[in-house]
A and B are shown apart, each in its own frame.
Chain A
Amino acid sequence: MSERLNNVFQFVEVDRKDPKKKPLITRKGQFVEIYKPFEEEVAKDQSHRCLECGNPYCEWKCPVHNYIPNWLKLVSEGNIMEAAELSHQTNSLPEVCGRVCPQDRLCEGACTLGEGGFGAVTIGSVEKYITDTAFALGWRPDMSKVVPVNKTVAIVGAGPAGLACADILVRNGVKPVVFDRNPEIGGLLTFGIPEFKLEKSVMTLRREVFEEMGVEFVLGTSVGDDVPFEHILEEYDAVFLGMGTYKAMKGGSLEKIFLVFMKH
């Protein structure tokens, strides 16, 4: 390993390697994630391909500006817990982004190595590897320094926006109470994105982690129907709405198609 850590030409000697996929027969018939997890050595080898550009384009391209070169270095050195802590400083659901982000249009599309024809660093797969591995090893976000401020905020919608809002609030001592009409958190992450990209156990584990952090979930409860919005507005210090978009776009003359499809 020490040899690798001193190798500045890792990006030349080691090709970009994505995690292995499951066999096609499994993929065609089952609703399971198609990628196998990175093995530890592969994750380290791949992470060390990062050039640590002085001005990391990947980080700028990422909408939440993840500290990508920094956590790649931590993975390369085997510091998985520190990598998880750092990854969570900028992202509330890194294990989800690692799975579903279009990396080829964002961080990996901006990677200097890709521009140079060497193949971008496998940033998304490493991002997923960090949090999955850290969770399995028992890592949880450090809440030991959080001081409660005696404020509560209602969040309507347990999708990515609502969960991210709850994450920041609870880390700052504000009590978030998240309402959602569905029986599980995630919004479209759970009820839209299929299992072959994001298995549902990911959100179940994430709910447990959020609950341990002090986020309260009121699921299977539709605000406006089961709970009047008046009550929420009165009882809480502020409200965040993250209710998504649910009306399917219809294409002018194609309206008929959708209706036909719905009936059959």
Chain B
Amino acid sequence: MVSNVNHCQGFEEDESDFINFKGKQVIVLGGGDTAMDCNRTSIRQGAKSVSCVYRRDEENMPGSRREVKNAREEGVQFLFNRQPVEIIGKDKVEGIKVVETVMGAPDENGRRKAEVVEGSEQIIPADAVLVAFGFQASPSPWFDKFGIETDAYGRVIAPKQGKFMYQTTNEKIFAGGDMVRGSDLVVTAIDEGRKAADGIMDYLDI
């Protein structure tokens, strides 16, 4: 995704950074908004086919329904209730092995879990596989040196309920957005940035 933006916008530093799926059979793994972005970018690059493989059913997809509809209109095929287990191919991708799933009981967040159906393995051919399972925290190596503590997942500790909203363990430093909460919506990052500004102004006694 990043390389495509750089390519389209003239920010590209090295031509070999650009990944092109023209004429390829593309499989995208995941069911969120990033997966839809990958699907639809592949279509626009001229992929021969684009299939989106997701382990739950359509009802339990996490992303925006509007974007799923748009992806489908543009020619993306959806393969629901299929959990990827293995990549097939030696020197290059030849396909992906999946197992079928059925929807089980809801988890603590109310989302139904995908349960694997024994003996349902199948192989879907592909020239390229894109993994869109989301992002996890990527704390900078210098955080330690400045007393910026992170939790077990590498997220910066900056609670909303602190003395000053979104203050880190270094009193002069505040933090918000994905690096504090883990990857989430644009609008939640905006909310946290705004509240952190209030925290900063309280701290500076403005």
Partners in one complex: yes
Identify the A interface with B (CB < 8 A): 21, 24, 27-31, 34, 62-64, 91-93, 96-97, 100-106, 149, 151, 153, 157, 159-169, 172-174, 182-184, 188-197, 200, 224, 229, 233, 237-251, 253-254, 256-258, 260-261, 264
> For residue A93, which residue of chain B has the nearest CB?
B190
Instruction: Establish whether residues B191 and A102, one from each chain, have CB atoms under 8 Å apart when the complex forms.
Output: no
Instruction: Establish whether residues B186 and A29, one from each chain, have CB atoms under 8 Å apart when the complex forms.
Output: no
Closest Cβ–Cβ distance, residue A9 to chain B (whole Å): 27
User: Across chains A and B, which 7 residue pairs bring their CB atoms closest together, nearest first?
Assistant: A161-B177, A164-B193, A168-B197, A102-B64, A161-B193, A165-B193, A160-B189
Interface flag for B123 (CB, 8 Å): no
List 10 contacting pairs A-B, 8 Å CB cutoff, sorted by A: A161-B196, A165-B200, A174-B200, A192-B34, A229-B145, A245-B178, A251-B29, A251-B133, A254-B85, A261-B131
> A21–B44 Cα gap in the complex (Å)?
16
Collect the chain B residues with CB atoms within 8 Å of residue A237's CB.
204
Collect the chain B residues with CB atoms within 8 Å of residue A64's CB.
187, 190-191, 194
Interface flag for B40 (CB, 8 Å): yes
Given A195-B8, A256-B87, residue A247 in contact with residue B197 (CB < 8 A) = no
Instruction: Establish whether residues B5 and A190, one from each chain, have CB atoms under 8 Å apart when the complex forms.
Output: yes
Chain B interface size band reads 35 or more
Instruction: Establish whether residues A165 and B194, one from each chain, have CB atoms under 8 Å apart when the complex forms.
Output: yes
Instruction: Establish whether residues B174 and A241, one from each chain, have CB atoms under 8 Å apart when the complex forms.
Output: yes
Interface flag for B93 (CB, 8 Å): yes
B12-48 interface code vs A (CB 8 A; 1 in, 0 out): 0000000000000000010001100100110110100
> A200–B64 Cα gap in the complex (Å)?
21
Given A104-B66, A172-B201, A264-B92, residue A253 in contact with residue B179 (CB < 8 A) = no
Instruction: Establish whether residues B135 and A245, one from each chain, have CB atoms under 8 Å apart when the complex forms.
Output: yes
> A182–B145 Cα gap in the complex (Å)?
24
Interface flag for B168 (CB, 8 Å): yes
> A93–B188 Cα gap in the complex (Å)?
12
> For residue A238, which residue of chain B has the nearest CB?
B200
B177 contacts which of A105, A172, A242, A257 (Cβ < 8 Å)? A242
